[in-house]
Amino acid sequence: MKRLLTTVALLAALATPIWAVQPDEVLDDPALEARARVLSKDLRCLVCRNESIDESNAELARDLRLLVRERLVAGDSDDEAMSYIVNRYGEYVLLRPTATGANWLLWAAGPLMLLIGAGVGGGFLRNRSKATPETETLLNDAEKQRLAEIMKS
């Protein structure tokens, strides 16, 4: 049992996304490398979709990591490097898109739908409480006779 737990722990450690960045990608300057890692965590892998390029092992993620490092080595600031990549690949590459322009509607859609649903539900409950209860109508003699005939057959 102890051997099994050790094996599972080792496999879990090997599966961590920390090792997605290959040793040949790491910059010699620790400050530039730290900046590159921060930027890489904010960029979406276009293959994996909901994973940052820092965590992804996809070839395109590797290319994007190298591009980020290339821009930083060229002297770009963090904003300039991000702008370069966004201009090249579109805003979809950002894991946290900006809340401007058409994206504002996407950011606001969830809370708006919640408010609309609460309004519709509240209106339904209010109208339901104001409604007059329906009275039960009893069967007349002809209906009672027809029901008796149906029940006999």
Residue scoring higher pLDDT (90 or 150): 150
What the block records as the tokens of 80 is: 């300039």
pLDDT digits (tens, 9 = 90+) for 62-113: 899 899 999 999 998 989 999 999 999 888 888 887 767 777 787 788 999 9
Distance (Å, whole) CA 42 – CA 95: 5
8 Å CB contact between 51 and 44: yes
Distance (Å, whole) CA 85 – CA 101: 19
pLDDT given for residue 111 in this prediction: 92
Count CB atoms within 10 A of the CB of residue 33.
16
Distances (CA, A) of 45 to 5, 33, 85, 89: 32, 19, 12, 11
Distances (CA, A) of 80 to 63, 64, 70, 85, 141: 18, 15, 12, 9, 88
pLDDT given for residue 92 in this prediction: 85
8 Å CB contact between 61 and 47: yes
User: Would you place residue 129 in the very low, low, confident or very high pLDDT band (cuts 50, 70, 90)?
Assistant: confident
pLDDT given for residue 14 in this prediction: 58
pLDDT given for residue 95 in this prediction: 84
pLDDT given for residue 13 in this prediction: 58
pLDDT given for residue 10 in this prediction: 67
pLDDT digits (tens, 9 = 90+) for 2-56: 787 777 766 665 555 455 676 667 777 888 888 988 998 889 988 887 888 888 8
